[in-house]
Amino acid sequence: MKKMISVVNVKQIDGVWILGYSLDKHTISSVPIGHNEFGHMQFDTVRSEAGEALFSA
């Protein structure tokens, strides 16, 4: 199994929980590029390193 080292930007977040943290934003930008052959909107999405690791897992 390949080991991955990811850069994360830990940030404490407020909410209705006792204590919460976010490792990073998962999406940096997402631009609609049109519909596919099934009528579903497609996007050109740029993810953070942590977001890409989560998406491709």
Find the mean pLDDT for residues 45-54: 87
Q: 38 in a domain, yes or no?
A: yes
Q: 3 in a domain, yes or no?
A: no
pLDDT on residue 1:
54
| CA dist 2 → 5, 31, 40, 43, 52 (Å) | 10, 32, 34, 29, 16
Q: Is the pLDDT of residue 21 over 80?
A: yes
| CA dist 18 → 8, 14, 15 (Å) | 22, 9, 8
Q: 6 in a domain, yes or no?
A: no
The pairing of beta strand 27-35 with beta strand 20-22 = unpaired
Q: 1 in a domain, yes or no?
A: no
pLDDT on residue 23:
85
Residue 54's nearest CA partner among 27, 30, 29, 33 is: 27
Q: 26 in a domain, yes or no?
A: yes
How many separate domains does the chain show? Answer: 1
Q: Domain of 36?
A: 11-55
Q: Is the pLDDT of residue 28 over 80?
A: yes
Question: Which residue has better confidence, 8 or 16?
Answer: 16
pTM of the model: 0.63
Q: Are 22 and 13 in contact (CB under 8 A)?
A: yes
Q: 4 in a domain, yes or no?
A: no
